[in-house]
A and B are shown apart, each in its own frame.
Chain A
């Protein structure tokens, strides 16, 4: 509860700071629209040449892009402002020292205390595209499908946060290792169903670096009805990666000796 209040206060402060700069607000809104527009356009071009892609129809693709955008928006709002460039800001510049002195979990403070409210525009736009896709499908999703989609989206969010923490934790051992650009690049793969890729990449995106959980698996559950195995696997992946992230953070902190030492 205390942590939620902290998130709320931080979000409120960040929102007031953001709306004070109107030019920035304009560009953020513009870029959110054009970014999503470009993604949709790239897919619509494909559907001028084919009726389906790797077994996914145009409407199903829109649902997938909408789901991807929802999670991307939440990541950009709550996770990226904290963990993007953590090796530089957190370790090399010593911001982590400040978190360690505060009376709250250092993992929470380092990974979730800051937010970027304007990025929620992406979340809203994702919702619009999701609604568009659902409206364009032949049959509406069942209640069980919606519930399993919700569970899988939450699992995807947890995995997203945990992967960011795990990448940040690498900085405790290799402070010059900056994998943020790599993570953002790999993230692009989540915008497409894993069926599009060849088998080795598909296996990699499902089991090793689970980008499939970001959009592909939740969208399939929403549109094609729930299946127990993917839902259980999603929950297990969320629990497993979150536990691993917490362990890695603790191990990293034991090694950390301050920015100036």
Chain B
């Protein structure tokens, strides 16, 4: 309960703090929607008569906005410049600040990107089945948790290297390729599709999008929750080892 209250305070604080940087947030929104928009155009050119492609990519845009994570900027830089020390001295878990900032940026990105989603939906006459959209809703929160855990795990490598942006960039490429942004995974070659269905990346983007677009009728929350457990454990272990290694700037 105390953690929830602290998180609520932190979230409010971060949402207000980011409100002064709305122009920068708008550029981040553009960055988030470009890759799915390209996917939309490319696959619409391949299957011009299939409305499911448009529906799928419109949801991919929305899910991407709702799950974007930037811990390589918001957290790793605190390791590099030593300001993590301030967070370590607070009487609360460091991760509360990280999650608060993560949720605040997601709220702003979703708010700023919503017009793109609505505009794309109307102009492409996507024709959603709202029952399918409702069925996909429970998969979005685990998708957001998975993206956060994956990005945070890779961001923790800042304890050991000074190339965290490259490492997180590599992780983002995996999400792009195997998560359903480069192509809906049903369109991947058979071997790739099987691999993609097992790895966590499909649960981050493609699974909720497939369900909302109606290209898949059932999903597996168990698959998402299992990966949350795996990535959560990896984050916990990496944090414990990393923070022991951290000696603060100047020491």
Contact = CB atoms under 8 A, between A and B. Distances in A.
A57 to B, nearest CB: 14
A24 B38 contact: no
Interface of B: 23-24, 27-28, 30-31, 34-35, 38, 41-43, 45-46, 161-163, 166-167, 169-170, 173, 176-177, 182-183, 187-189, 192
B182 A179 contact: no
A53 interface: yes
A196 B189 CA distance: 22
Nearest to A197: B41
A179 B27 contact: yes
19 contacts: A23-B161, A24-B163, A27-B161, A30-B166, A31-B170, A34-B173, A38-B182, A45-B182, A46-B46, A46-B183, A49-B46, A49-B187, A53-B45, A177-B23, A178-B27, A189-B38, A192-B38, A192-B41, A197-B41
A38 B177 contact: yes
A189 B170 CA distance: 20
A154 B199 CA distance: 43
Nearest to B161: A23
Contacts of B23: 176-178
Interface string A41-62: 1100110111001100000000
A20 B29 CA distance: 37
Given A53-B46, A179-B27, A185-B31, A196 B170 contact: no
Contacts of A30: 166, 170
Contact of B166 (A31, A184, A185): A31
A46 B122 CA distance: 26
Nearest to A182: B27
Given A53-B42, A179-B27, A196-B41, A41 B166 contact: no
A97 interface: no
Contact of A184 (B31, B41, B45): B31
Interface residues of A, number: 36
B27 A28 contact: no
Contact of A42 (B45, B161, B177): B177
B45 A38 contact: no
Tell me if A's interface is mostly helix, strand, loop or mixed: helix
B112 to A, nearest CB: 13
B229 to A, nearest CB: 27
Given A38-B177, A41-B182, A42-B183, A24 B41 contact: no
Given A31-B166, A45-B192, A176-B23, 4 more contacts: A38-B176, A50-B46, A189-B34, A189-B38
Contacts of A184: 31
A258 B153 CA distance: 41
Interface in A193-208: 196-198, 201
